[in-house]
Amino acid sequence: MKKLKELMPYIIIVVVVLLVRSFIVTPGLVNGSSMEPTLHNNELVLINKIGLNKGIDRYDIVVVKYENSTIIKRVIGLPYETVEYINDILYIDGEIVNTKVDFEYTKDFKLTAGKNEYIVLGDNRNISKDSRIIGPVKESDIIGKVDLVLFPFSKFGKVK
């Protein structure tokens, strides 16, 4: 009994850390250059899981479960929206969108998201495996938002 009492603070710390990582925030590593220039290969980022409770907005950067891994992409289309890119112009539901995301060198495409689905694209569209290839992603496959670059320290700060 005395042994358990001595171990209790450590057990509590482990439980708290596991709960925080499971439900609130967790670190993640950027793998590849599909989100350049926003995020770079091997950058350590903070994935905000609880931020999903506030909803997913256009231009949020999200982490998506895909096959046996995860991908980091930017949300462009929301549920039930049709996203088209024609002759260097982005349309959402037929309306021209003045985007803060650079679409230069993007091939024309048209995608429609269904109920609880999102259209996600990498910022480096020439090499990105995103909704143009895998289709819209289900909300249930989005595990969190990327809010912060943790490392390298020279890049530490909020993700835009």
- Among candidate residues 3, 22, 33, 34, the one labeled active-site is 34
The conformation of residue 136, written as its DSSP 8-state character, comes to P
> How far is the CA of 115 from the CAs of 56, 86, 119, 140, in angstroms?
14, 24, 12, 11
Q: Is the dihedral of CA 38, 61, 124, 150 positive or negative?
A: positive
CB contact at 8 A, 92 and 37? no
Is 73 marked active-site?
Answer: yes
Distance, CA of 159 to CA of 9 (rounded, Å): 35
Distance, CA of 85 to CA of 52 (rounded, Å): 27
The conformation of residue 153, written as its DSSP 8-state character, comes to G
- Among candidate residues 73, 128, 131, 145, the one labeled active-site is 73
Distance, CA of 53 to CA of 119 (rounded, Å): 19
Please give the positions annotated as active site: 34, 73
